[in-house]
Chains A and B, each alone.
Chain A
Amino acid sequence: MTNAWTDIKNTDLVVVMGGNAAEAHPCGFKWVTEAKANRGAKLIVVDPRYTRTASVSDFYAPIRQGTDISFLNGVIKYCIENNKVQWEYTKAFTNASYIVKDGFSYQDGLFTGYDEEKRDYDRESWDYVIGDDGFAVVDPSLQHPRCVWNLLKEHVAIYTPEFVERVCGTPKAKFLKICEMIAECSTPTKTMTSLYALGWTQHSSGAQNIRAMAMLQLILGNIGVQGGGMNALRGHSNIQGLTDLGLMSNLIPGYLNIPTEMEENFGSYMSTRQFKPLRPGQTSYWQNYKKFFVSFQKAMWGNAAQADNDWAYDYLPKLDVPSYDVLRIFELMNEGRVNGYFCQGFNPLLAFPNRAKITSALSKLKWLVTMDPLETETSRFWENHGEYNDVDTKSIQTEVFQLPTTCFAEEAGSLANSGRWLQWHWAGGTPPGEAQHDTWIMGQIFVRLRELYRKEGGAFPDPIVNLAWDYKDPGEPTPEELAKEINGRAIEDLRDPTDVTKVLVPAGKQVLNFSQLRDDGTTLSGCWIYSGNFNENGNNMARRDNHDPGDTGAYLGWTFAWPLNRRTLYNRASCDVNGKPWDPTRKIIEWDGTKWSGFDVPDIAPNAKPQDVGPFIMNQEGVSRLFTRGLMRDGPFPAHYEPFESPVDNVINPKIRGNPVARVFQNDVSQFGTSAEFPYAATSYRLTEHFHYWTKHNRVNAALQPEFFVEISEELAAEKKIERGGWVRVWSKRGSIKAKALVTKRIRPLMCDGKAVHVVGIPLHWGFIGAAKKGWGPNSLAPFVGDANIETPESKAFLVNIEPTTPPSEVVA
């Protein structure tokens, strides 16, 4: 989230698309009802289903899953054509005026530079014209035909209301009504917020769904303001934290990158990370990259990371592919090229697409280690459960360890919520049996592995035996020790560069925050963006002052928000070019002639003159990007592509299947179905009574929603002679499941490109262990393909067939 849950009360319009907050985030959604009740805010819901969020909306429109870009590009076109643009914001705070290279264009559904063989673009032309002074060339009048604004106008021209209706199945009148409501938020004193979740990410064009809305928010002037923003609701309690801390194939904590093998040494790695400003006087904060990287290396390898070994750069793994994401590793596993696998609090047998392939892959492992507080299907993937897990146990040669961990109630530490608040919690219960903290398990595995390498040597032991692990009990680092290391400390006295007699931070003391980190090896910090979380003032994540001066919803004394306790990102953009709030009634910060101050931590240097320094300090431009240069693989503007399995062809270019640069493994090509064989558009979702595959272990939740079902329209039920509550078989090219049919009015057929499209809804909470009845989930059916930029599987849009059937044999028995 750019903003916080508590900030939603400040909005005038909530758009929920790609999410269902009322059911999946109920207590956060109360801030939407707060805004409706107290500000007269309106709520729009666009979703294939009439969800419970829709049931309290002011306006609902249906949309076919996977077509959100067409819808949003259509809204952008409407706003441009009807002059519903926050012009002062757009001109000053976006790259609308930047001139783009002549070579760049878009035609027949593809951008310049497409290589069909490689399924990739040469992105050289997707960039600005750079002038002789080394800066990007701009035309503030927006008259230049090659400026971003004019290219954007051209790009969205095809997304007419008729096009939107044809592709999305959203009736034109409903689409236009939503356009009118959104367009009202182009004034400086009306704001809209976007709430989204997995309904936008689980697509082969997921990242571009979000970009499209971000662009709309920018031209409406809604980023950085109270009640505005792009708000990813996020699915798990610490999914934000795990990402911040870089627990992904290609990341280092704080959004630094694991090197590729093309970056042979530290010099070549840093050469592409200089982040020189693209316009005069801009902050381009990533210019500090080296400070954060070196401080991280010192946290990892202490004294073994020195200037003369490039801070142990060679200890880091170097990638030969963009990432070993979960789809790639399960593909490799299924080819027999992976021997060992750890699942720490993760249930891939129910979470990853194409379950048959996941089972096959796990069966080829030599060993599997699971760590959980609860039983998981993954740890018992080898156990035969009849139709629900029909495996040949004897033939599965995988050795499995199931390790019991504590749960939330039995451990201390912090979680990052979707608003980036790092909230500390305390242990209150005794763990059952021999269950242990994850930190104990990781510590125990590490000290044993280190001991083996110390004694026996082996393949490159250095990064293991030299890992900085100077915790009081190496077998179990405490949460406080780890939190302090994440914050960072001075290794030597940190002296004031302007007066070397003055010590800013004595050796061994915690740094105040990341502004004190250095690139000369005198500081360490595990994750720079979190720095400030636990400094010499104590554990700031444990603060509990719930006062809210100005009633802004900021709660600066409550726990700690990264970065620097800032609650609204880009909040400098809440003021005009001269530093005065666009809406004085919704002031966040303000320029008083010498400095920035207000109700939040300013997202800009406190003394940066508003006329000189742009609000988007992380970007080299100092402004936000309507055109993303070559930073995304599938285009600098979002463009319409169908899901890989779609009931209709891509109307822009029928030859293009799915996202043209999404990675597809050869083994999966034959497992994509066509609409001739699988006519119905399936999607997946959560129910409010359940959380993933956890709550089916709880008696209360299992009683509230005991049994797996699929949701279909009355029209489809009539067409397929399916009875209410009757058993149906649903199958895709990859698997087949049985479920009770829930026949509702919440799903209606959509008219897309001249034909009726029926939607099949599949909730995701059932498996073969727990207190609820046995069942299946959408992952038995979903395709093994991901988003072109970040490989999130396309679990929200795929094709199935459906027919009445008999109950599963176990039910009959």
Chain B
Amino acid sequence: MSEQNTKSMSIIVTKGTLDWAYPPFILATTAAAMDVKVTMFFTFYGLQLLKKELDHLQISTLGNPAMEMPMMGMHMTMPNIMSTIPGVDAACTSMMKNLIKKKGVASIPELREAAIDSDVRMIGCQMTLDLFEMDSKDLIEGIDVGGAATYMESALKSDINLYI
């Protein structure tokens, strides 16, 4: 396929929870597999997804009435008040991780690796690094660090621009 016909997509990644890490990485890897040139811009909480270690990713049960976890043949939702109890989010996260494994869903580190392997361009937001006093040494190698203009240059040339 010639460079001129190559389609492109950009994704702004703003969320840093285990569940919300899935849509951007699934779309980025699939698009790359369909010969789409992909740029991901990780900003605010989304920047967590560029950390070398991803073990800290959690899900939050707060304000999420649509989260129906299958349990003993039924579906369980979590009242908001439960989220305030220490350990509940951690327990739900480990439930979610078990479910992910059991159902054969790829892990986030696995999907991120696939994205890197397929030459998805990843940009970390410099302002987010400064704001949260994050160290760029904690982020994976091979990424670019930049700001809104870096993203815009790529977005202006892209066929698809998503905000997740």
Q: Do A and B come from one complex?
A: no
